[in-house]
Structure 1
Amino acid sequence: MIKSQVGRRYSKAIFDIAEEKNQVKEIYEMLNSAMVLYRTDKEFKNFIRNPLIENEQKKAVLTEIFGKDSSENLNILLYILDKGRINCIKYIVAEYLKIYYRKNRILDVKATFTKELSEEQRTKLINKLSQKTGKEINLEVKVDKSILGGGIIKIGDKIIDGSIRRELDNWKKS
């Protein structure tokens, strides 16, 4: 709970700075890269979290890794480190992306089908969802053979379950 609150607060401030500098995408990419590195590289994570290592050493490493980014953008990452919030980077990035999607009217949709969609099916689904919601659709498709047929679409908290498995379960209950 606390980490998500920290993520919201920091992401809002960072997004405001990014918009002001017209660097929304660049800052997102830097933060996302830092998050991926923090979550996947155990040595890096242990180094960053080690209380015996001075922040100046940690900053030097971050500067070396992310130095290709502008120094102003890098300062955002160094600020997060200074405030001891690097462990919340996952939440900061997630909230940052939510703000971006909300401002640009983009909707995340997760769809599950028994087989991969053709490009034509994918385009039709995106167009239909876009018409219904009035937003641009960011579609993520997963394959799950256990649903037998049909599909499941998740838009935010709303789930549209048109799978044959659900139909069979409902038929079995009645």
Structure 2
Amino acid sequence: MSNTNTFARPYAKAAFEYAATASKEDAWSTMLSFSATAVEQAEVVKQLGKPELSKEGKVEFLLQLCKDNTDDEFANFLHQLGENNRLGLLPAISEQFSEYKAEKNRTLEVEVESAFELSAEQLQTLAAALSKRLDRTVKPKAIVNSALIGGLHIRAGDLVIDGSIRGKLNKLAEALKS
């Protein structure tokens, strides 16, 4: 996994720098996401893994799949990836590209786990408080997890806030063990 991220990083950075310069960040994000999803499909993996298919043939196959969702610059990017046998890195490149984009836009996707479904108003209030604390625009993603019993478990990048009853019970159990 770390090797994948290490190999993907220069491509993601180059793609982001190009897209930012050309003011095409959203378009490139969409194209990367689409092509990354394509290369993860079982049939596509099987086709791209055929040894009799040349590097150029693999790129052309992928471009055929994505023909309505790519432009000439992105096609050149795919050719570069194919030439270096890096088409399999597209999911990691897409993920890192999204991180670069979020950093530039100062946005952060936050997972909010709760035992029960939160209302839109509750999510909005929580997002406003987190935005103020993290100094970023927060996009909450609500997840219902009945195992929490009650409270919230918030994951924002490296920051984890465990205000769940399950978390408090686990801390109490640890304190009693020591």
TM-score (structure 1 length as normaliser): 0.92
* Equivalent in the alignment of 2:59: 59
Q: CA deviation at 1:127?
A: 0.8
Distance 1:148 1:123 in 2: 22
* Equivalent in the alignment of 1:43: 43
Identify the range of structure 1 (90-99 vs 64-73) with the bigger mean alpha-carbon deviation. Answer: 64-73
CA contact (8 A) 2:32 2:94 kept: yes
* Equivalent in the alignment of 1:92: 93
**Percent identity of the aligned residues?**
25
* Equivalent in the alignment of 1:171: 172
- The two structures, once aligned, show a CA RMSD in angstroms of 1.5
Q: CA deviation at 1:118?
A: 0.6
- Aligned pair count reads 173
* Equivalent in the alignment of 1:115: 116
Distance 1:66 1:8 in 2: 23
Distance 1:128 1:71 in 2: 43
Superimposed CA distance per residue, residues 64-83 of structure 1 (whole angstroms, 9 cap, x where no aligned partner) = 22223221222112221221
Secondary structure of the residue aligned to 1:162 is strand
TM-score (structure 2 length as normaliser): 0.90
CA contact (8 A) 1:109 1:155 kept: yes
CA contact (8 A) 1:149 1:163 kept: yes
Q: CA deviation at 1:59?
A: 2.7
Aligned runs of 1:4-15 on 2, under 5 Å?
4-15=5-16
CA contact (8 A) 2:56 2:79 kept: no
Q: Cα gap change, 1:63/1:167 in structure 2, threshold over 3 Å: closer, same or farther?
A: closer
Structure 1: where are the runs of 5+ without partners?
Answer: none
Secondary structure of the residue aligned to 2:48 is helix
